[in-house]
Structure 1
């Protein structure tokens, strides 16, 4: 069996599991997953919640820790479609990956949220949100540019926090932070800061902060505009986005180099604490001096100990010198013994190579060779004679048989010559073509007519299908109501509070839960307009 040698590194199962865990957590540190809750049975005895998020093609295990579960504004329920925010991790003991959920939101979006989701997917496909595009922030920026309203509390919070931590030179580019002119003004501010010369009269910032206070999605919509996202992604200066409060998320948060939950947190991320930095530098200097002294003392002690343990040079070669003297004294005796042993071997072999024995052996071999030559010549003669007796009669018959076969061939060709003339063959070919031409024309006409008839019939079926389709009814404002099993609900008496429904409109589907009293005791009321809004898509 051949053994295959390799120098590949061997890993333990734990090392592989930990490497996969680190990779998944680094690449998916913050994700939002949309899916249907399955397998939820309430909180575990430990206070944690375990369930599965699934769609029509896949599923993923989910866990909500006890502390996060108490802070959830929207509690998970079996069968609901939700948007979960958290991070991906792995469970090495069973080789599974799961999402650790920090927040849960009900799924469903209006026209504005659908537009925001479409825009987010478009920009994501272009790579504007890629992690490799994000740049590290400068550790100690000399000049900080702030893009925000000059009259709001945001700029005062940023200036106050910078003064407490590390006083820095701040340049304010005033903009409107909501309304129709918000997006172009923010774009002009970012591009204007990038256009400043590094050594010009107005110094170019080392870091930009785009900030505003919290608000509804309509108030923050200016920071979801495509032009603003592209300006942030194209900025040569690192950008910190601090739009809204901690739960608010806009598209520039994904394109910026860092997202801060609040404007104050943006100021804290921009600069270090000056007093802590001074203390850290002094502590590092003191530790460096002490480490240098300890290292020098240790090296001095090691050198002294190593010098004391070294042997004298004469002692290092004394043993080798003695071995050399012993070998030289034994060399002459060993050579004499070797010569005597070789002479004895040659004398024993010389008796077997005497001239009389060699001549006798040569005569025996010559006699044997002559005997074999005589036997070979006699056998060859007999073989030739047997072959002559076998093939001579056959050779005499071969000429006559060949002449008869050739005569038969000539006779057959003479009979077929009149039938193989070219004129009858051409006439027969023209006749076959004249008969086939009308048949081909009729076949082409019949095929065209059949195809036209089938196309007309298909068009009639398509019109009939459009006429009878329930989609036309939905387009007039009606809704198709189905239960969680997919059956059509045709009567309100079949519904109970808490039942999960799927509503199909002309432009899509959404989920619903039956609320209120049973239909038998419920009074008909006019449905109120749907004023439920969603705070954020992400």
Structure 2
């Protein structure tokens, strides 16, 4: 059998593939890895078992720079997403085998509509999961304080949107206190970064023992629609939905609504719109206060006028009324005094009779009890004399002791024990043999 070199064998494989797989194929797969280098896009494709999620097929794919420069903008414009790991895609490929680099699928096109449908399906699955858990509308049930001034802001520290947000609040004339909790607002680290910022806010509030912030604002300044993928995740949506402080989002564009927007307390378009909402809300509160102040002042004036008129009328009626009331009360007090004296006298007589009766009964009861106790003592004395050990000894009985205790059973003694026998006229000491 002829022996081939590795290069010859690989060349043979390449020739066979080029001869047999001459067409391009549409393939559906999940992207397990996506990276760009020198304008080229390198992908790892995987297909997983529907039930166990175990990979059942893997392959490498490449999209050369000349093709990728056209595919990428179109894909992101239609889907609003970057091509990233975990995404499902429909790719047009042809087979290529290189003697040095092995087999790879070369990508010539990507169907954005397939990915768009998959993203929509995943978004609906996340929404259904949140509703099943009963947390989808939790944020909507929270109350945004009337004086919403201490704001926890989750944003990139260097983002222009954060600067615009703070500037608009400071120029409003109201005393707002925005506190930044930095987070990554684009790319694959968005989810974890925002979750960590929320946990930091919660820990700070929990440590102080009070809710330290009136609201949380999640804002993103600039960025394309393709940067919104990090805001459509189940973990982030669950954290936001169950957060105990109202959350306002200003991360997207007018036509884009992420899952994060859906579960938040309020969604606005931009950071400046978030600032405008807070300013307008506080202005409405101030207007209500001004209106209430005017209403209270007017009501107080009317009330004072009415009371002055009532006091004037009462002042004219008081002298004759007072004289009449005084006479009536004096007569009433005299009657009450007479009745009270009679009641007290009768009560004292009754109680005196009761006391005399109780005194007689108590004397008789004490005498009878003393007689009973004296008889009881005499009986106890007789029983005690009858149990005197000396009487038993005088009758001829004896008492055996061991270590000061009465011996009732021989098995309690052992050989060599010294025992003591008490008789009427003496004591005998013995040793057990």
What TM-score results when the alignment is normalised by the length of structure 2?
0.41
What TM-score results when the alignment is normalised by the length of structure 1?
0.33
Q: Which has the higher strand share?
A: 2
